[in-house]
Amino acid sequence: MNKARIIQILNKAVEREIGAVFQYMGQHYRFPKETHPIAREMLERIAVEEMKHIEAFSKRIVALGGQESINSSKVVWETDFIKMMELDKDIEDEAITMYRKHIAICEEEGDEETKAIYKKIIKDEERHHKLFAELKDMLKEKIEG
Ligand SMILES: [Fe+2]
Ligand SMILES: [Fe+2]
């Protein structure tokens, strides 16, 4: 198993997760408590789940003798609530695509342990994608009527 290759993909995943935390957390406190309590609450919960993903990936990096990244992927500040949800859906889609590629690399390298981490996290990202789609519909109805 090429540990350096696995550490490299894991760090790419960590950086995406760090970006997602800032993106969703930043959106969380932009939604007013009075008018958008559900979106506000959901975004905080999802941001916390992404933080747990950073933990899972980083733990594996350290177990493999690597150094975890603390860099963030690009964060996009959007002020339109509906556009925010579209952006977040795309972020989840990109993560799912990336993690599927990483799973293929884990298979090439015979790293079942890392593969299992990715498989578990992909399930969360699929759920997030669905939640953002639902939130988008909910906000559309609320804002546009
Ligand atoms: Fe994540
Ligand atoms: Fe996610």
Ligand nearest to the CA of 89: 2
Give the per-residue pLDDT at 145. 83
Which parts of the chain register pLDDT below 70? Answer: none
Its domain, for residue 57, covers 3-144
Taking CA atoms, 108 is separated from 2, 12, 102, 104, 119, in Å, by 10, 18, 10, 6, 15
Q: What is the pTM of this model?
A: 0.96
Whole-number average pLDDT of the chain: 97
Our count of domains for the chain comes to 1
Ligand nearest to the CA of 17: 1
Percent share of the chain, pLDDT over 90:
98
Q: At what angle do helices 81-109 and 112-144 cross, to 10 degrees?
A: 170
Cα of 39 vs centre of ligand 1, distance in Å, is: 18
Query: Domain with 40 in it: what CATH number?
Result: 1.20.1260.10
